[in-house]
Amino acid sequence: MEFAPEGPMAIPLWINGRAYLTVGDSFFDVLNPLTGQALRRVPMCGASEAAEAIAAAREAQPAWAAMGMNARRVCLNALADALARYAGHFAKLLVQDLGIDEAAAAAEIAAAETALRGVSVGHAGVVAVVVDATQPLAGLALAMAPALLAGAAVVLKPSLKAPSAAYALCELTGRVDWPAGVVNLLHGDAPAIVGLCAAGAERLLYVGDAALGQPVAELAAAAAVPFEVLTG
């Protein structure tokens, strides 16, 4: 990631199979916890970006579901293979965002790869996934893989503190020729989650610290969207 004169470059959204640029009112700086250095920044998204992401997922979901479970499993295994090939790149992103050592980053990547190859089947439809910085990559994989295997299309909302590996995982879906719109990503906090619920997310999954998940549960309840907490 190159640095612009005015600061770190922004990580874009990922919508409908491509990087999606948005001009928001504010950005969140991603800081290395050990050095305090601003590494990257993410736009604080709201209703309009959430609506774009949900619309892309809704458009892609029927064809993805029609592929059949075996074909979807092939896609998930291909993504896991690609994650293994680019493990060094993902480790660098995790080390920077989280301030962890390379061994911990390698363990996070291995857990994500295992989750992508899993056999559990979740709920179909259009599913939103929210994770905190506890497991920014493995947590996403844990939540998204069963839903995708069931035929769902997903919108990912990673932690503001550790979004880099999540975006890189979305890029990998393009490299392994996943259908556009099956996996989407936006950044932000409560307004982004409210936007996902309002735009038509049929289920909201959360992976992370229980205390941080309580406000997410309240937002889902207010919108009458089914909510589920997943643990690794």
In a domain, 161, yes or no: yes
In a domain, 1, yes or no: no
Q: What is the pLDDT of residue 143?
A: 98
pLDDT tens-digit map of 139-161: 999 999 999 999 999 999 999 99
For residue 66, give the nearest of 155, 171, 153 by alpha carbon: 153
**What is the reported pTM?**
0.94
Total domains, the chain: 1
In a domain, 207, yes or no: yes
In a domain, 28, yes or no: no
Check if the beta carbon of residue 85 is closer than 8 Å to that of residue 91: no
Mean pLDDT of 57-77: 98
In a domain, 11, yes or no: no
In a domain, 101, yes or no: yes
Which residue range(s) make up the domain with 136? 45-230
In a domain, 127, yes or no: yes
In a domain, 6, yes or no: no
Q: What b/e readout covers 165-196, taking b as 16+ CB neighbours within 10 angstroms?
A: bbbbbbebbeebebbbbbbbbbbbbeebbbbb
- CATH number of the domain within which 108 lies: 3.40.605.10
